[in-house]
Structure 1
Amino acid sequence: MLRIAGILLAGTGAAHFAAPQVFDPISKAAFPDDTRQWTYRNGAIEVALGLALTTKKTRLLGLAGTAGYAGWLASRVRANRGASQ
């Protein structure tokens, strides 16, 4: 199950590079400045975390990283609430 989730997360991260315009509105909520650059950065992070989830050897690190990443993104959205309007 976590292996599949990792593959999906890595695929979503890769999609940030193939179609960044799809992810820009989402990224803007957390990163109203330099949104496109943050779209690419978030894509790279998601690829790395997703790949970490795909193997047993790195899965625990991937889970910890994904939890930290989710918390960090949520804090960025809260901090920038209203800035992207």
Structure 2
Amino acid sequence: MALFSAGKVGLLLAATGVAHFVVPERFAELTKQAFPEDTDQWVQRNGAAETAIGLALMARPLRKGGKLALVGYLGWLGYNAANVAQSG
């Protein structure tokens, strides 16, 4: 059994996504690095995205799309964080 199977990563990602709604203050500082404006809304948006991607990774029929979504999501977060760092 793989240490980091797609299903396990999906479970962890979905749990992290839900945590954005349960304890949003824990994600505010990190989220602010990529989204300095409307940070509270972005905490919720990111939580929703992570939950959805995590669930897709857990469901075998949706796994391929979940993997693509995860790569796109991580790239998009990195792009926003890099742009904020350059401008600020």
TM-score by length of 1: 0.95
Correspondence for 1:11: 15
The match for 2:32 is: 28
| Amino acid in structure 2 at the alignment position of 1:6 | G
Stretches of structure 1 lacking an aligned partner (at least 5 in a row): none
1:55 Cα offset (Å): 1.4
- Alpha-carbon distance between aligned partners in 2 of 1:75 and 1:5, rounded to the nearest angstrom: 22
Count the aligned residue pairs: 83
Name the counterpart of 1:50.
54
- Residue segments in structure 2 that go unaligned for 5+ positions in a row: none
Q: Once the two structures are aligned, what percentage of the paired residues are identical?
A: 43
C-alpha displacement of 1:18: 0.3
